[in-house]
Amino acid sequence: MRVVALVPGGIGDQILFFPTLDDLKQNFPNAEIDVIVEPRAKSAYRVSKSVSDVLIFDYKDRNSPADWANLLGVIRDRDYEAVLSLGRSWGVGLLLWLTGIPTRVGYASSTSKIFLTNPVPLKPDQYAAHMYHDLLQGFGISTPCPDLAISIPKGDLDWADAERQRLGISDGYVVIHGGSSQLAQDKGIDKIYPVEHWQRIVQDFQQRQPDLPIVVVQGPEDQAWVAALTSTNPMLKVTKPGDIGKLAAMIAGANLMLCTDSAPMHLAVALQVYTLALFGPTDPEKLLPQNDKFVGIKSPTGIMADIPPEQILAKVWGG
């Protein structure tokens, strides 16, 4: 069986969709599963264990009818037997119908369900991974959603070993990821916790656990944030993983992950690393599983800066 999944969104959305792909592969072990994702999300599949091929389509671009026709042609040329989609617009439903794929699975809505062969009720008030996994009901799969899981390439694990050696780390450490994608910043989505608050947290760690290394992750768009944080904390260690596999490998060796609502948060969850994540306008109950290892702290106002550092430190030290 050949299956294609249309999965708009960023890297975090893809990781949250991994359990759906993994369970589909578990139930149909001979299936070839492809995904169609936005360019910004392609790199997520470096750590996926269930996908055969990754195709690119920018769902959020101002696509012309010719762009949609090209996508339709690509899908039809591959002779898929089943398709599942996170999109709920009538346009996506129409696209699925025009593909001629026999089994078309998606969320039921007043505009899209007429194009689907197997519509599934949308239940948004739950952990997002579970909401995505509901789509498998369209394939007759009703098992519980498995935990997030990823597969790190051996080369990335080797890179992380060498990176820890470069940083002088021989044992456990804390990872801090406090950056935010440029897309979120451009949209005015508040996901940046103020540097001065992070500095207060780092200073407390250094006072209580002076021998515990703190590793700050610097992504491609985090230079200014990392420079500001390290300017008053020169003992911080900075790592710059070149891709999501190397980032995951660094997180995997950590005792604790401190982060904001972001793709690295989902990596930490998939790796079962103790995680304390900060949330501004987003809802931790929909983005973190119910597990004592993963703690979300939500701003009382929806503004990240209004989370007191003392509240975070109380969670860290068990207060």
CATH number for position 132: 3.40.50.2000
At 184 the pLDDT is 55
Two tokens at 287?
């983005």
Q: Are residues 103 and 43 in the same domain?
A: yes
Inside any domain, residue 11: yes
Whether residues 94 and 201 share a domain: the answer is: no
Q: Do residues 63 and 119 share a domain?
A: yes
Q: Is the pLDDT of residue 151 over 70?
A: yes
Q: How confident is the model at residue 318 (pLDDT cuts 50, 70, 90)?
A: confident
Q: Is the pLDDT of residue 98 over 80?
A: yes
On whether the CB atoms of residues 215 and 169 are closer than 8 A, the answer is: yes
Q: Kindly state the tokens that stand for 22.
A: 């993994």
User: What's the whole-number mean pLDDT along residues 141-155?
Assistant: 97
Residue 149: inside a domain: no
55-64, 93-102, 143-152 — which is least confidently predicted?
A: 55-64
74, 109, 139: which is the final residue of a domain?
139
Cα separations (Å) of 248 from 7, 89, 157, 165?
21, 33, 9, 17
Residue 286 lies in a domain: yes
Q: What percent of the chain has pLDDT over 70?
A: 96
Tokens (6 digits) for 255: 């005792």
Range of the domain at 124: 2-139
- Are the CB atoms for 4 and 103 separated by under 8 Å? no
| Span 53-72, average pLDDT | 90
Q: Note whether residue 282 is domain-resident.
A: yes
d(CA 280, CA 298): 6
Using alpha carbons, select from 131, 120, 86 the residue that is nearest to residue 283: 131
pLDDT at 92 over 90: no
89 or 7: which leads in pLDDT: 7
Structure tokens at 130: 């579970």
The answer to whether residues 306 and 160 belong to one domain is yes
Residue 144 belongs to a domain: no
What does the pLDDT read at residue 310? Answer: 96
| Average confidence (pLDDT) over 172-191 | 73
Average pLDDT over residues 238-257: 97
Asked if residue 228 and residue 307 are part of one domain, the reply reads: yes
Report percent pLDDT > 90 for the chain: 84
Picking from 139, 170, 198, the residue at the C-terminal end of a domain is: 139
Do 99 and 19 sit in the same domain of this protein?
yes
Question: Is 300 part of any domain?
Answer: yes
Mean pLDDT, range 192-216, rounded to an integer: 95
One domain, residues 131 and 158: no
Banded model confidence at residue 183, pLDDT cuts 50, 70, 90: low
Q: Do residues 72 and 207 share a domain?
A: no
pLDDT over threshold 90, residue 290: yes
Q: How far apart are CA 29 and CA 21, in angstroms?
A: 11
**The pLDDT value given to residue 119:** 94
Read off φ and ψ for residue 298, nearest 5 degrees: -100, 135
- CA angle 228–191–125, rounded 5-degree value: 160
Mean pLDDT, residues 149-170 taken together: 97
- Boundary residue ending a domain (110, 139, 168): 139
115 close to 97: Cβ distance less than 8 angstroms: yes
Same domain? For 194 and 121 the reply is: no
Average confidence (pLDDT) over 2-7: 97
Please tell me whether residues 135 and 158 are part of one structural domain: no
For the chain, the domain total comes to 2
**Residue in this structure with the two tokens 């359990």, named with its chain if needed:** 19
C-alpha closest to that of 49 among 81, 78, 23: 23
Residues 76 and 161 in one domain: no
Mean pLDDT of 103-123: 90
> Does the pLDDT of residue 29 top 90, yes or no?
yes
Residue 71: inside a domain: yes
| Token code pair at residue 206 | 């250094």
Q: Which of 67-71, 107-111, 152-156, 216-220 has the highest mean pLDDT?
A: 152-156
What three-state secondary structure class fits 59? coil
Q: Which two tokens stand for residue 33?
A: 């599963």
Q: Do 295 and 173 fall within a single domain? A: yes
d(CA 184, CA 75): 30
Q: How confident is the model at residue 109 (pLDDT cuts 50, 70, 90)?
A: confident
Q: How confident is the model at residue 61 (pLDDT cuts 50, 70, 90)?
A: confident
Q: Is residue 112 part of a domain?
A: yes
